[in-house]
Amino acid sequence: MARRVCLPRILRRQRTVKASAGDIKKQYSKFVKRKMLFLLLGIFLLLIISLVAVCAGSADLSFTDVLTALAARFLPGVEAPQFNDAVLWNLRLPRIIMGVVAGIGLAISGTQMQGITRNPLVSPFTLGISSAAALGASLIIMFGIGFAGTGTLLIIGNAFLFAMLSTLIVFGLSKLKGASPETLILAGIALSYFFGALTSIVQFFAPEQTLMAMVHWTFGTFTGVTWGEIGIVALVVALCVPIFLKYSWDLNAMVSIGDETAKGLGVNTQRVRSVSLVLSAFITATVISFTGIIGFVGLVAPHITRYLVGGDHRFLLPGSCIIGAILMVGADTIGRTIASPIIFPISIVVSFLGVPLFLYIMLTRKQDYWRK
Amino acid sequence: MIRQGGGIDLYPEISPYTFEVDPEDVAQRNPDVIIKGQPSGYFLTDTTQFQQVYDSLISRAELASTTAVTSNNVYVMSFDVAGGARKVFGPMFLAKILYPELFTDFNPELVLQEYLETYLGLPWQGVYVYPGF
């Protein structure tokens, strides 16, 4: 070349790729290594944030207090005051671990849903899950069936039931019309409004304190979460995540080259879509039945991750799990420390935290990763 | 309502009427009395429901060392005497709970009974406070 010309990176890479197959392999492994490094960094960041979260709170526990209380449960010689132990093991750790597990579940559901519908505006709640769960919970709260322990169980159970009901109706409706992403979204939105209207009717007739309880449920909270509940959510997430990860390549195909070509390559698009839909709904319904409605994570965690690792689902799926967990734990910690002793509902804090972050990443990144 | 009944509320500095509060903070502020509100009351025939709520409240690990729990000053009260138009009865019940020695000859439930039977024409029934006065 006579003059020094500034080539865009893409062209430069292409010139190198044409050189040899060995070079391609090297580039590919560098690509993979970079993504893996990012994932590891993400996990590390999550651990740091969790550590900060464990030490943060209204009860003035120093770092050594926290360590002692943690160790006291495992090492026979170490003693910790009952209050410290209660605060750490009954109040803080459950919140944080539920935040991690719920963040993973909601984020991966969102990523999967966006993948199978090829639509960046989709979240698990597009299926009407949040409205249906709110209706289920409101009905139980309104009619005061059960109380204390059993009341909460009924709220959880009914919220889950209605959420899955909504999913099945959406699924059935869309199958009538060929189960394409468009019909799925349309049916989901319609049902979302329908269940929302029903919930409003219930709220309209509710007396003061009951209405307060209903609205409070929809805000979402990690207060009062028990280890048993964490276990259930963790189990569901642990069962579904490997299935989602197995579909990484299929999703890559469906998103970037379309259904027809993907089918030609051997991807069973119908099955991927159905299974992903039901499992995403299952995870989301499970999480929000226990915590209340936390809406933003499933929508925005995939996008943030996409800007950071790109659209390859092999890295996007685990990446969004990590980002989702970081968002949840961070939001919960901020929500309970910023205006201590008031706890701000998590859905509100997640939105306030996630939106600026998302806008910042969107505005500072040069490339659009959606179609890649 | 707490102030009307002669008590000192735990969060005088916070102005919103209802808010979610950090359980750690409640335990740290060490309340002398804990009163939990329940939506049912008039239609209850026995105290089992309130008792279950009471038991689950007492068994919360972070509250175990608060003055309220150790001195048996935890109560479950119905919103039927503390909510909506019936808020006027709340301070009476609260006063009786907080200062029983000052109100030995006063029974708020009699006032409530008069209200229900004479003014509303309803039969007297229901459970409003657990454990009773």
| B76-112 tens-digit pLDDT | 988 888 877 888 888 888 888 888 888 888 888 888 8
The predicted structure's pLDDT at residue A236? 95
CA distances from A190 to A83, A125, A127, B106 (A): 49, 12, 9, 58
Q: Mean pLDDT across chain B, nearest whole number?
A: 86
Among A79-88, A355-364, B38-47, B66-75, the range with the most confident prediction by mean pLDDT is B66-75
Question: What is the rounded average pLDDT of the residues A271-276?
Answer: 90
Which of A60, A149, A212 shows the shortest C-beta gap to B56? A149
Proportion of chain A above pLDDT 90, given as a percent? 38
Q: Does any CB of chain B come closer than 8 Å to the CB of residue A223?
A: yes
A234: its two tokens: 């963790």
- Which of A65, A77, A202, A60 is CA-nearest to residue A143? A202
Burial label for A5, CB within 10 Å (0-12, 13-18, 19+), is exposed
Assess whether pLDDT exceeds 80 at residue A86. yes
The stretch B105-126 carries a mean pLDDT of: 88
In this predicted structure, the answer to whether residue B29 has a pLDDT above a threshold of 50 is: yes
Which pLDDT does position A284 carry in this prediction? 94
Interchain proximity B24–A59, CB inside 8 Å: yes
- Inform me whether the pLDDT recorded for A283 exceeds 70: yes
Checking if the pLDDT of A17 tops 80, the result is no
Q: Is the dihedral of CA A88, A301, A231, A347 positive or negative?
A: positive
Amino acid A131: pLDDT = 92
Buried b (16+ CB within 10 A) or exposed e, A167-192: bebbbebbeeeebebebbbbbbeebb
pLDDT digits (tens, 9 = 90+) for A201-215: 999 998 887 888 888
Q: Which chain B residues have a beta carbon less than 8 Å from that of A90?
A: 60-62
Query: According to the model, what pLDDT value does residue A45 have?
Result: 94
Q: Is the pLDDT of residue A342 over 60?
A: yes
SS3 B43: coil
In chain A, what are the domain boundaries? 94-371
Shortest CA gap A203–chain B (Å): 15
List the single range of A131-135, A290-294, A328-332, B82-86 with lowest mean pLDDT.
Answer: B82-86
Q: Is the pLDDT of residue A81 over 70?
A: yes
Q: What is the per-residue pLDDT for A132? A: 93
* Cα torsion angle, B17, B23, B25, B31, sign: positive
Q: Backbone phi, then psi, for A4, in 5-degree steps?
A: -85, 115
For residue A157, how many other CB atoms are within 10 A of its CB? 15
The predicted structure's pLDDT at residue A185? 86
Between A180 and A185, the more confident residue is: A185
The answer to whether A226 faces chain B, any CB pair under 8 Å, is no
> Is this prediction's ipTM beyond 0.90?
no
Range with lowest mean pLDDT among A8-12, A101-105, A125-129, A319-323: A8-12
The predicted structure's pLDDT at residue A88: 87
Cβ neighbours around B117 below 10 Å, total: 12
The mean of the pLDDT values for chain A is: 86
The reply to whether residue B83 touches residue A209, judged by beta carbons under 8 angstroms, is: yes
pLDDT, position B12: 86
CA A209 to chain centre: 31
Residue type at A252 in one-letter notation? N
Chain B residue with minimum CA distance to A335: B22
pTM of the model: 0.84
Per-residue model confidence as pLDDT tens digits over A28-47: 898 899 899 999 999 999 99
Q: What is the pLDDT of residue A143?
A: 83
**What pLDDT, on a 0 to 100 scale, did the predictor assign at position A372?**
40
Tokens 């409070």 -> residue: A216
Q: What pLDDT is attached to residue A227? A: 92
Cα-Cα end-to-end distance for chain B = 19
Average of per-residue pLDDT across A148-153 = 69
Query: Which residues lie below 8 Å from residue A82, measured CB to CB, with a gap of 6+?
Result: B61, B64, B65
Q: Which residues of B50-86 are buried (b: 16+ CB within 10 A; e: fewer)?
A: bebbbeebeebbbbeebebbeeebbbbbbbbbbbeeb
Q: What CATH number was assigned to the domain covering residues A94-371?
A: 1.10.3470.10
What is residue A149's predicted lDDT score, i.e. its pLDDT? 60
Query: Residue A87 and residue B83: Cβ atoms within 8 Å?
Result: no
Whether the pLDDT of residue A6 is over 70: the answer is no
- A105-145 pLDDT, tens per residue? 999 999 999 998 888 888 888 888 999 999 999 998 888 76
Tokens of A254: 């469906």
Average pLDDT over residues A179-186: 82
Most A CBs within 10 Å, among B1, B24, B78, to test the A interface: B24
